[in-house]
Amino acid sequence: MESRVLLRATANVVGVPRLRRPIGAIHRQFSTASSSSFSVKAIGGLGEGGNLISGRQLRPILLLDSSINGGGGEKREILKPVKAAAAEGGDTAGQAKVGFLAKYPWLVTGFFFFMWYFLNVIFNILNKKIYNYFPYPYFVSVIHLFVGVVYCLISWSVGLPKRAPIDANLLKVLIPVAVCHALGHVTSNVSFAAVAVSFTHTIKALEPFFNAAASQFIMGQSIPITLWLSLAPVVLGVAMASLTELSFNWLGFISAMISNISFTYRSIFSKKAMTDMDSTNVYAYISIIALFVCIPPAIIVEGPKLLNHGFADAIAKVGMTKFITDLFWVGMFYHLYNQLATNTLERVAPLTHAVGNVLKRVFVIGFSIVIFGNKISTQTGIGTGIAIAGVAMYSIIKAKIEEEKRQGKKA
């Protein structure tokens, strides 16, 4: 029965002659022939797609390497089943698609960097515009996290990405990270609302200094002298910029410094909370916990003012529609730029990401000065440049040290 199916299948293929002798006769001829006269082989097995007719696996059929008509040395083609051929065609198409991405990986990486910078700049500009007519940073910080949490919940509901399960032990280690994240986020926004965006980012350039100090004096890690020396220009530059900053006030300065300390402790707790969970899910859980941390202070500090006149004043200035859409989009930009920063780090080496992070701060400072027309003194401009250069040196040296450590562990 199986042989008859094979014969009918080959007979229907154009250009393939119908076998004139029964299969059984051919088999008997093979069995009586001298083993030295012919070499025989079986058509590929199931894994190779051979002997498949209408989705069924047939018994192997022996075919001669040379033609049955007399050994003229002419090779005989083996008919491949339609299903197998189709599968191979699909594989070829898939390989072509993957091959394009593998051939031009810099396009994908460049896109990630572009979107990271673009979303960060847009977030900072829109965030400051909101504070110009709605100066309530605690409430706006809650909106940032709330929009991001809703985005994460919707993404989980459609399986992009699939939600990773969380247990009590993982929750216990993520809570300190989320608390520091919430405190750093709120104090950053208090500074953004109080002073110029460029000045806040100049102060936040001191974050590597706090990271190094915490690593040395809290975690007991030895920091090379080269790293400490690279931080000297950062401290000097921030001091120069602060002394002549036209928008300077102590609330903005102290809030930015508290933000630096908070994010430093976030880094410390993050190292202790190492998990196999992917970064997207980890950031989602941190955002959810941070949201619950931020809500009580917002209600206590700004709640009465918002109910009395805060919302009404903002709506009177820009209208209900613009007020709501501004809050929505600033929350989306905040969540997406943070997520893209994490995704970009996964695609490039630490050194590349460190340099990219420094350039990102330069872009934000530059665009904020242009968009808002902030006037800065010559000393502030020089101090900002020195601080950014120091951060660049620190980031490059630190990334090289970490890379050497990884290479040593592999060896």
pLDDT(105) > 80:
no
Here the tokens at position 251 are: 């609330």
Give the residue among 229, 200, 199 at the shortest CA–CA distance from 212: 229
Mean pLDDT across 116-131: 93
Region class of 71: left (phi > 0), else alpha (psi between -120 and 50), else beta: left
pLDDT at 276 over 80: no
pTM: 0.69
Q: Is it the case that residue 169 has pLDDT exceeding 80?
A: yes
What mean pLDDT comes out for the span 332-337? Answer: 94
Q: Are 136 and 302 in contact (CB under 8 A)?
A: yes
Q: How confident is the model at residue 140 (pLDDT cuts 50, 70, 90)?
A: very high
**pLDDT at 31 (0 to 100):** 46
Q: For residue range 37-92, list pLDDT tens digits in order.
A: 444 444 444 334 444 444 444 444 444 344 444 444 444 444 444 444 444 444 54
Instruction: Report the alpha-carbon distance of residue 345 to residue 275 in Å, rounded.
Output: 17
pLDDT at 5: 40
- The two structure tokens encoding residue 242: 């602060």
Q: How confident is the model at residue 11 (pLDDT cuts 50, 70, 90)?
A: very low
Amino acid at 216: Q
Give the other-Cβ count within 10 Å of 217's Cβ: 10
For 203-257, what is each residue's pLDDT tens digit? 988 888 888 888 888 888 888 888 899 889 989 999 988 888 878 899 999 999 9
pLDDT of residue 16: 46
Residue 274: its pLDDT value, please? 66
Per residue in 353-380, pLDDT (tens digit) is 667 777 788 888 888 888 888 788 888 8
Whether 41 and 62 have beta carbons less than 8 Å apart is answered as yes
